[in-house]
Structure 1
Amino acid sequence: MGASGDDAIQAAEKRAESTAARNLPQFDDMPVPGDTANLREGANLNDACLALLPLVGVWRGEGEVDYPTIEGPRRFGMQLTIAHDGRPFLIHEARSWLLDEDGKVIRPAARESGFWRPQDDDTVELMLAHNTGIIELFYGATRGQASWELGTDAVVRSASAKDVTASQRLYGLVNNGDLGYVEERAMMGQELQPHTSALLRRVVG
């Protein structure tokens, strides 16, 4: 059973003591509104994005990657930035780095960028481009008030990319306000199965 509403509000206020005053670096000379990952600053969140409001922020934490075609499981660090500029979409940028058993950084790892695009029928499009030569188009929906489940409708690969054929993702806020993320992938001749998972804490917003 989750925490009560009052407990959740108190926990959010406690977290905000260290995150509420932080935002993305800004250029003062931009002729258009800058991106913001802090709902207290910048442009107002577009009404079309209200179902995605809890995602807005910068999140950082650790996770695990594993798959039959790699030597694993392996630990990784991750930062996920979800921001907006007042228009009816969210900006998505994620970067990760491999960690050794002691938590020290080995090297940079996967990066992805794209957009969350809420639709009039309450579905959500998530378009992502990866540094590995893969472009994915996900469709999904909000589950409850604080989780989002999406699956690929299309996967496009460059000639040098791995043979990825499908992905499914689930993002969700857990009881303490952290953001959980899990992904399943079908690639390299394998069926759809768990690939990565991470637990991220809010550091901005």
Structure 2
Amino acid sequence: MFEPVQDNPYPDSHVLDEGPAPHPQLVPVLGLLGRWHGRGEGQYPTLDADFRYEQEVTFSHDGRPFLRYEARAWLIDGSGDPVRPAGREAGWWRVLPDASLEVVLAHPTGIVETYVGQVNGSEFEIRTDEVALTPKAKEVTATRRRYTLGDGELTVLHDMAAVGLPLQHHLTTRLRRRPS
């Protein structure tokens, strides 16, 4: 009735020298490849209190000039124990020949963001170009993110303009690459 299905002949790779060769346009962002894990802190004026979280982030590729991106986070208490799932997002980082970036991220909360940005050595800064919301999604009008690689760590600073407030700091995350 059904024909046998073969394994995906074009798997994603998050490790250099495994899987397909990276597209030459990915050279400026190859340092992001991998599975990352760490902790962060967040705040926003509309929240009752600041919060702490853990996060996993994966950057991978399939040989074409873009990275697949996935992130998931969970809140933790003061002892570092998990409390509940938190943010989750997935998308694509497209690297253009001039090392500029176009990024698309989707959130299960009904928010889709398109970003534009630039690679500057070990720093990658992106800012929203457009934000699309489903009818019941929280109002987010702009975000800006700065990813910085240094000393084996990936630091992410995330600013947000939401629910009538101007762009301001929201999240700081420090991640370390997980062994493959």
Tell me, in whole angstroms, the C-alpha distance in 2 between the residues paired with 1:202 and 1:123. 24
* Distance in 2 (alpha carbons) for counterparts of 1:131 and 1:197: 21
Aligned to 1:187: 162
Q: Is 1:94 aligned to residue 71 of structure 2?
A: yes
Residue in structure 2 matched with residue 136 of structure 1 by the alignment: 113
In structure 2, the gaps of 5 or more residues are 1-5
Alignment counterpart, residue 171 of structure 2, candidates 196, 199, 205: 196
1:9 — aligned with what?
none
TM (normalized to structure 1)? 0.83
Counterpart AA for 1:131: P
Structure 2 CA distance, aligned partners of 1:30 and 1:125?
A: 30
> Partner amino acid for 2:129?
D
RMSD value over aligned CA atoms?
1.3
Matching residue of 2:129: 153
Q: Which among 76, 79, 86 is matched to residue 109 of structure 1?
A: 86
Q: Which has the higher strand share?
A: 2
Q: Give the TM-score normalised by structure 2.
A: 0.94
| SS of residue in 2 equivalent to 1:49 | helix
Taking only the aligned residue pairs, the percentage that are identical comes to 40
**3-state secondary structure, aligned to 1:58:** strand
Aligned length: 176
* Cα contact 1:184–1:193 (8 A) shared by 2: yes
1:177 aligns with 2:152: yes
CA distance in 2, matches of 1:186, 1:156: 14
Q: Which whole-Å CA distance do the structure 1 matches of 2:17 and 2:122 have between them?
A: 20
Residue segments in structure 1 that go unaligned for 5+ positions in a row: 1-28
Q: Per-residue CA shift, 1:117-138, capped at 9, x if unaligned? A: 0113321011100111100001
**Aligned partner (choices 83, 96, 112) of residue 60 of structure 2:** 83
Matched, 1:35 2:12: yes
Query: 1:12 corresponds to which residue?
Result: none
Partners of 1:38 and 1:204 within 8 A in 2: no
Note if contact 1:173-1:179 (Cα within 8 Å) is conserved in structure 2. Answer: yes
Moved over 3 A (4+): none
Q: Is the 8 A contact 1:37 1:204 kept in 2?
A: no
Take 2:26 and 2:166, find their aligned partners in 1: how far apart are those partners?
Answer: 33
